[in-house]
Structure 1
Amino acid sequence: MKKYSGFVIVLLLWFANVKGTTILSDATGIKLLGKDLWVLKSSKEMTFEEVKASNDFQKNMQDVPNLGISSTSVWLRFTLANESNIQNALLHIAYPILDEVELYLPEPDGSYNKVLMGEILEFKKRRYQHPDYIFNLDLPKNESRTYYLRIKSAEHLILPISVSSATMLWEGLSKENSISGIFLGAVVIMFLYNLFIFFSVQDRSYIYYVIYVASVGLTQLGIKGFTFQYLWPNNPAFEVKSVILFGCISGIAALLFTQKFLHTKQNARRSHIVLYVIMFLLSIAFVVTCFGLEQFGFQLMQITTSIFAISILVVSYIVMKNGYRPGRFVFSSWSILLAGAIIFALKDYGVLPYNTFTSYSMQAASIIEMALLSFGLADRINILKKEKEASQAEALAIAKENERIIREQNVVLEEKVKERTVELEASNEELNTTLDDLKQAQIQLVESEKMASLGQLTAGIAHEINNPINFVTSNVAPLQRDVNILIDAISTMENLSMSGITVEEKQKQIEDYKEEIDYDYLKIEISHLLKGINEGASRTAEIVKGLRVFSRLDEDDLKIADIHEGIESTLVIANNLLNGIKVTKAYAELPKIECYPGKLNQVFLNIISNATHAIIARLGEGAGEGELKITTRSDSESIYIHISDNGTGMDENTSRKIFEPFFTTKNVGEGTGLGMSIAYNTIKKHNGHIRVDSLLGQGTEFIIDLPIMNKISET
């Protein structure tokens, strides 16, 4: 047997080569299977039985198969013969962004078991926790078996497939992980450094660049599968889209950065518009990918990315030729990135060998590109500094010239002043006499007005302050009642918790008890009562403040507030005034606005209070036929509040005076005349408008419009 064993082995090797079998020997190392693969493509999905019976497999002639983009699954077939001492041969597919990777493992009885991996499954379901796809081949020594692989992906199908021992595979992957770690460290440093500078200088170029660095880093790490492993391992639905989405974001951020950094609107106007068109196409790719059209989104992103890479080179070259120095940094950085992309692509198409340099050329080029752009941003600070110094020098020269002109004009003006002084001295004595007379008359008028205003204030202030105080005290009793109910509820819960009945029975009794005391409404009522007490106290303080100069109210905090909440809280406060009056509300969906909520609530309360008095004056108390209607609406810039009543209404003369300080139609002691004046000044303070429409005997409507977002006046 020993005599003929060498001959038998040679014969087996020859037979294996004839049949397309890959021989694993101890000297093989890591064996690329590219040229030993048979590929089957079909326009429709095929079953495994159909694939086994098919004669349409084509021999692959590339070390790393580049199968393009396919909407259906691609099948691969290969045969392995184990003539080595490897106990556990591993199949390694070094392309993490595959949606589905399914290996069909042959059994001795001729049947096949299948193992499914891919981005469609959670990461933890993989046997080996690595971004690449690693399968046990279960190939005993001195045996030959045929395997089938089913591959499906929305992205480009590039399949570096190899077979090796576990030791050699993990050693190689460890080196590759170290390279990816270096790339990640560079990205993090660039991100944090430029983010810090952005917070220091507040230049939008930096935030665009920071977004670009982050999205490029996530894209490159996503291609290597690390984002799926560490960031969202339980979200395969997002993983399928992530590389495309981050690729689109990085493209848009790069275009925005280029526009801002190179001032393309001034330095390359036509190219500036082209960049917007490319951004629009990337946005479409982003949106369609979000809606599940990953393959179309990938193809559109790939085409658009190629266009925008060339466009940025052209734009930066134009700007550089026009003498704007930042163009040099953009042109050189994108040239390097494009070179890295070309090397990476030539590797995929088999022009260049598949090795560490070609596999990581894109990441290395990205690091160099990001570093050069960071240098460009730093250089831009120096440019801005020089421009600022030149501007200051120019401003100083202008100031000196203006000073000279002013001195010359002062000489001329002094001569004219002397001439006019002679004329003015002649009439000065007569004017002084007239001025003294006017001052005396003015003092008498002011004193008369003060006494009249003071009389109106004294008569009405007691009533104005008494209303909110009465409302606060009226809320105490129901609040005490509700608190007592809650105390009883706590006691009941304690008794139930100490009882020996089952948990289910306890829960049932608790739910019955909550329904008995109407627990949900009780919470709402307590909240409203507490809010009403607070509003009543606040309103009392606001009335006292309102007695100061009307155009100068003390400032509260400026907040983003919901107007409907303010109206509702005001209705709670004014509830005692609304007895027998129907309140109709027609609220539209309103955005929150920037305002002083407390001051607006005072406006609503003043209008509602006047409306109730007008309704009662026309219909009588308890008539039950009065109606107060509150309607809201909005447009892109403002919100509008309509508050109308069917009260006595006003004639034209009264409507004109309604917002004047101390003007009132009420009897002495019933009002101060400050309410609508305060309302007018409050709305004016918000840069809004308030107007009144009224017909005598039919009712009154107040219309308030307030800007949604606006810098509120400080006066």
Structure 2
Amino acid sequence: MILFCLQVNAGDARTFQITDQEDYDDIILSMDFMVDPRNDLNITEVSSSEFAGQFKPITYINILYDSLDHDIWLRFKVSNQSQNPARSWYFESWGFDINQFTFFFPAADGRYIANTSGYDYPFFQRNITHKNFNYFLDLRPGETKTYYFKVRRDYPLAFNFHLRTNEKFISHSLNEYYLLGIYYGVLLLILVFNIYLVYKLRDTLYLYFAGLILACIWFSLGRDGLAFQYLWPNSPSFNPLTEGRITQLMVVVATLLFSNRFVQKYNTNPKMLKLTLLAIGLKVILFFLQDRWIHIDGLVYIALTIFIMLIPFSMGLWLLIKARIYSWSYLFAYACLILVIINSYAIIIALFEDQVINWYFVHPVIFLEVVLFSLSIFNQIKFLQEQYKMVSEEKTQALIEKNRLSDELNNKLQEKVRERTEKIENMASDLASKNIELQTTNLKLQELNVQVNQINDFLRKNNEQLKTNMEEVTKNLALMKGLDFESFKNVFPDKDSCLQFLSELKWRHKFQCKKCGYNKYAAGPNHGRRCKNCNYYESPTVETLFHKLKFPIEKAFYILYLSNRKDVDLTLNELSDILELRRETCWAFKNKISQAMEKVDHNKDLSGWENLALVHLEG
């Protein structure tokens, strides 16, 4: 839509009255304008009476939203009604990025002296080397002069013109540069400090944060025009590098990379990185689409940019909450960044009515954003230090416990070595004494050999008689009177004696581990044996008739003993009373003995009761 602010029969130029004030703003609304459709008019033609009626009053600070390819002529008629002759006046334009700005100053002979400068010209072509366009009016009290300006622009900027006294101009300029110097100085200090942290800690978090600070500095230099003044004053071709969408893209990409690394240090999640890269890709696509292939409205562009940034931000906020990290400084810093993006389109969105506040509002917001992100990093460092301290304490405790166990093991090994050494020395001493005894015994054996030969003769003589008497002796042994329980207890008084007898009986030939087959053992509790290879412990009752026995083993021994006697035949009731056991218990064990006899085909006449003790019944 083309907005024209027309005034029919405009006539002569309006006159702006200077009184006793030191500063006038919004003087754009007291000026007139004219569009040069062919861009071929000169000051002589424009200032002539023929064109006087073609100027129209300006009623809107943007003057026109279209005619970006045409020169716009501005006319400003000023009357100095101030009574102070010591005051001199300056005209200032805040639109530092106007492509071409030509000021026409009226000379005494009626001609106009031109001064052309702008964003497309070297910086030092300006009369006053200031980031804004400033011109001395040379307007004495009582004088009225008409000034002309020719403007060429490439976007519909809002014009912000001021009239200031010399004192006010100097004071304003010094304060402005002083505050900007503090602003950039603090950002540079934080930047240098983070570069130092990158060098010392080798952490990409500080590298990304340094990139974010550098992007903010670049954004600010492009916004207030200092890059043109101080970095490349003679190379205006570099000015597009500080164009708003480029610097905004740098700030957004740097923030997304920093935010991803910041969150990942608290709670590592691959999805966060993927969403960050996706958001960066979408922002780059949006940047190249704008004004290159399609036109995107400024408000829509801002909304899409904020939406893209909120994708990884929402994921990061969820990860922080999941890790129970409540970083308010990080949250508010992100909010400041969104304000920066919104304010970067101050042409479209004016947060404040005052043009100065609206333009410079972004600087304290950026400063606050950097400070809040710095606080977030400091809080993270504190958190990581606490985590490191806690892990170090746990590691120290683990090392202390490890050293204690190591010392304890070493002491045990030393004791074992000492005991083994003593044992070997004792064995060596015993072997020496045994060797002497063997030598002595060898001599005795030689003497006994003669005696044995003599005894053999005697035995051969009695052999026939022994064969005759064997049958009778066997019968007598089988019918030998049995021991009662009290007498039997004198032989096997307790569990320990029974287990000792069973252990000697079970392993009278050799020991062999049932688990690994190893044949070396160490004595265990209850006369059991523990394998020296796999540490398996075997009880004397395992795989014997007494396996999983539920009543005292000495009583079971007596039942087994009676089972092998022919001359003793106790009823279950009698056996239950003698042993103080339940009748069913006695019956069950006697039944188990019967099964064992059947399994090994036991002969009571020829085999002892102890042979049944080693019979193992399945189940």
TM-score (structure 2 length as normaliser): 0.52
**Could you tell me which amino acid in structure 1 is paired with residue 221 of structure 2?**
L
Change (3 A) 1:187 1:196: same
Comparing 163-172 with 16-25, greater Cα deviation is found at 16-25
Of residues 267, 277, 284, the one that matches 1:280 is: 284
- Aligned residues of 2:350 and 2:358 also touching (Cα < 8 A): no
Q: After TM superposition, list the pairs within 5 Å mapping 1:210-221 onto structure 2.
A: 210-221=210-221
Counterpart of 1:93, as a letter, is S
Counterpart residue identity of residue 272, structure 1? T
Classify the secondary structure of the residue corresponding to 2:75. Answer: strand
Whether the 8 Å CA contact 2:104–2:112 is kept in 1: the answer is yes
Alpha-carbon distance in 2 for matches of 1:48, 1:278: 47
> Residues 345, 273 of structure 1: CA spacing in aligned structure 2 closer, same or farther, 3 A cutoff?
closer
Distance 1:41 1:251 in 2: 38
Residue type at the aligned position of 2:257: L
Q: Secondary structure at the match of 1:218?
A: helix
1:24 and 2:18 correspond: yes
Contact 1:316 / 1:327 at 8 angstroms: preserved in 2?
no
Which residue number in structure 1 is paired with residue 258 of structure 2? 257
Alignment match, 1:635: none
**1:220: Cα distance to partner?**
1.0
The one of 73, 76, 81 equivalent to 2:74 is: 76
SS at 2:23 equivalent: coil
Q: In the alignment, what sits opposite 2:241?
A: 241
2:308 aligned with 1:316: no
| Deviation per residue, 1:690-712 (Å, 9 max, x gap) | xxxxxxxxxxxxxxxxxxxxxxx
Q: Which moved more, 1:388-397 or 1:128-137?
A: 388-397
CA contact (8 A) 1:155 1:298 kept: no
- Unaligned 5+ runs, structure 2: 1-9, 410-512, 521-619
Tell me how far 1:345 sits from its aligned partner.
5.8
Amino acid at match of 1:281: I
SS of corresponding position for 2:68: coil
Q: Which residue of 1 aligns with 2:192?
A: 192
Task: Indicate if the aligned counterparts of 2:13 and 2:52 stay in contact, CA closer than 8 A.
Answer: no
Partner secondary structure for residue 316 of structure 1: helix
Give the C-alpha shift of residue 236 in structure 1. Answer: 1.8
Residue in 2 aligned with 1:433?
A: none
> What are the residue-to-residue correspondences of 1:102-181 with 2, within 5 Å?
102-107=102-107, 110-154=110-154, 157-181=157-181
* 1:446-477 C-alpha deviation (Å, 9 max, x unpaired): xxxxxxxxxxxxxxxxxxxxxxxxxxxxxxxx
Q: Which amino acid aligns with 1:278?
A: L
User: Is this contact kept in 2: 1:316–1:330, CA < 8 A?
Assistant: no
Structure 1 position 376, deviation (Å): 1.4
1 CA distance for matches of 2:346 and 2:222?
21
Distance 2:517 2:180 in 1: 82
| CA displacement 1:392-416 (0-9 Å, x = unmatched) | 8999999999xx9xx9xxxxx9985
Closer, same or farther: CA 415–241 of 1 in aligned 2, 3 Å:
same
Q: Name the counterpart of 2:495.
A: none
Q: Pick closer, same or farther for the CA change 1:302–1:243 going to 2, 3 Å.
A: farther
**CA offsets 1:330-369 (integer angstroms, 9 cap, x no match):** 3311213434665786698667332654442110011110
1:183 aligned partner: 183
| 1:280 shift after superposition | 2.2
CA distance in 2, matches of 1:228, 1:73: 23
The answer (yes or no) to whether the contact 2:102–2:150 under 8 Å persists in 1 is yes
Matched to 1:361, the amino acid is F
The 3 A distance-change label for structure 1 pair 359 and 351 is closer
Cα 1:273–1:18 shift into 2, 3 Å? same
SS for the counterpart of 2:21 is coil
Q: CA deviation at 1:26?
A: 3.1
Tell me the equivalent position of 1:96. Answer: 96
User: In structure 2, what is the equivalent of residue 431 of structure 1?
Assistant: none
CA distance in 2, matches of 1:55, 1:417: 121
Structure 1 gaps, min length 5: 1-15, 408-412, 421-715
Question: How far apart, CA to CA, are the structure 2 residues paired with 1:93 and 1:123?
Answer: 15
Contact between 2:115 and 2:126, CA under 8 Å: does it hold in 1? no
Residue pairs, 1:288-327, within 5 angstroms:
307-313=304-310, 315-322=312-319, 323=321, 325=325
> Matches of 1:297 and 1:131 in 2, distance apart?
33
Distance 1:344 1:68 in 2: 21
Corresponding residue pairs, total: 389
- Distance apart, 1:173 and its partner CA: 1.4
Question: Are the equivalent residues in 1 in contact too, given 2:11–2:53 (CA < 8 A)?
Answer: no
Aligned-partner residue type, residue 308 of structure 1: T
Change (3 A) 1:389 1:32: same
Counterparts of 1:386-535 in structure 2, within 5 Å, are: 418=518
Distance 1:227 1:297 in 2: 30
What amino acid is aligned across from residue 114 of structure 1 in structure 2? A
1:253-277 Cα distance to aligned partner (Å, 9 max, x none): 2222223323496455774354122
Distance 1:365 1:168 in 2: 27
Looking at structure 2, the residues matched to 388 and 351 of structure 1 have their Cα atoms a distance apart, in angstroms, of 45
User: Partners of 1:69 and 1:327 in 2: how far apart?
Assistant: 49
Q: Quick one: which amino acid aligns to residue 226 of structure 2? A: F
Offset of residue 59 of structure 1: 3.3
Residues 1:250 and 1:76: Cα distance change in structure 2 (over 3 Å): same
Query: What are the superposed Cα offsets for residues 219-269 of structure 1, whole Å, 9 maximum, x if unpaired?
Result: 213322222222222222113433455444333222222233234964557
Deviation at 1:118, TM superposition (A): 1.3
User: TM-score, normalised on structure 1?
Assistant: 0.46
* Aligned pairs for 1:39-78 within 5 A: 39-40=33-34, 45=39, 47-48=41-42, 53=51, 57-62=55-60, 70-78=68-76
Deviations 1:45-64 (A, max 9, x none): 45346766386655333578
Alignment-mate amino acid for residue 115 of structure 1:
N
- Measured at CA, do residues 272 and 105 of structure 1 come closer, stay the same or move farther in structure 2, by a change above 3 Å? same
Change in 2 beyond 3 A, CA 1:63/1:74: closer
CA distance in 2, matches of 1:380, 1:68: 51
Q: Deviations over 1:145-191 (max 9, x none)?
A: 33222233445623221112222211111111222122112211221
